[in-house]
């Protein structure tokens, strides 16, 4: 059998799928929705936990250190007037000399802002386990589902997704001092 006939016979079932696949993307003259910007809310991008009742200044008192590495996600047009956003935050955690055990629970958050105004905020606890003899681990949050209002005059680009550690007032003040903020 000639090579051309063999290729044509094998390609025929795939060619029949083309009309079906053509309906998978956006309609003609339709664009993907504008997604919100993402940002780590400074100074909540870093975490240092110290042993309880310590001065918080000695390296031997550090229980855990953490840093937000980035934010990933996707967005898609929802029902009329909605943009559905799924966000995953990426962290690195480091065991400190004062850490007891292998398991940690860290409070984290994801928020939606419009300019300086926070519209919604979700706080939850990220759990992680350090394997034996490992001091640094990457950890991803579970995906968080958010719904953002949009209309022809305001797209998803008008919003920002923020993420960070949910710090205590003392941790926040210490981070601001480290970063030279007030």
Distance CA(37)–CA(160), nearest Å, equals 5
With cut-offs at 50, 70 and 90, classify the pLDDT of residue 182: low
Q: In this predicted structure, which of 28-32, 42-46, 53-57, 65-69 has the lowest mean pLDDT?
A: 28-32
Top pLDDT among 164 and 42 is at: 164
Model pLDDT, residue 6: 43
Could you state, in order of their start, the residue ranges of all structural domains in the chain?
A: 32-178
Instruction: Give the CATH fold of the 32-178 domain.
Output: Immunoglobulin-like (2.60.40)
> How many CB atoms are located within 10 Å of the residue 105 CB?
9
Strands 160-165 and 37-40: parallel
Distance CA(80)–CA(77), nearest Å, equals 8
Distance CA(22)–CA(167), nearest Å, equals 48
pLDDT tens digits, one per residue of 106-152: 999 999 999 999 999 999 999 999 999 999 999 999 999 999 999 98
Q: Classify residue 18 by burial, with Cβ atoms within 10 Å: 0-12, 13-18, 19+.
A: exposed
Q: Is the pLDDT of residue 181 over 80?
A: no
């Amino acid at each position: 059998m000639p090579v051309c006939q063999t290729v044509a016979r094998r390609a025929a079932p795939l060619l029949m799928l083309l009309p079906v696949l053509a309906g998978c993307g956006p309609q003609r003259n339709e664009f993907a929705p504008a997604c919100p910007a993402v940002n780590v809310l400074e100074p909540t991008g870093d975490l240092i936990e110290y042993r309880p009742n310590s001065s918080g200044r000695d390296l031997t008192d550090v229980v855990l250190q953490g840093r937000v590495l980035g934010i990933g996600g996707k967005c898609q047009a929802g029902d009329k007037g909605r943009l559905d956003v799924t966000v995953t935050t990426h962290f690195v955690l480091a065991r400190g000399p004062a850490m007891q055990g292998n398991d940690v629970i860290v409070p984290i958050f994801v928020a939606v802002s419009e300019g300086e105004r926070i519209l919604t905020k979700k706080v939850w606890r990220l759990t992680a386990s350090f394997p034996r003899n490992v001091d640094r681990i990457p950890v991803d949050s579970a995906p968080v589902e958010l719904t953002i209002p949009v209309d022809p005059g305001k797209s998803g680009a008008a919003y920002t997704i923020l993420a960070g550690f949910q710090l205590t007032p003392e941790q926040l003040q210490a981070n601001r001092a480290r970063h030279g903020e007030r």
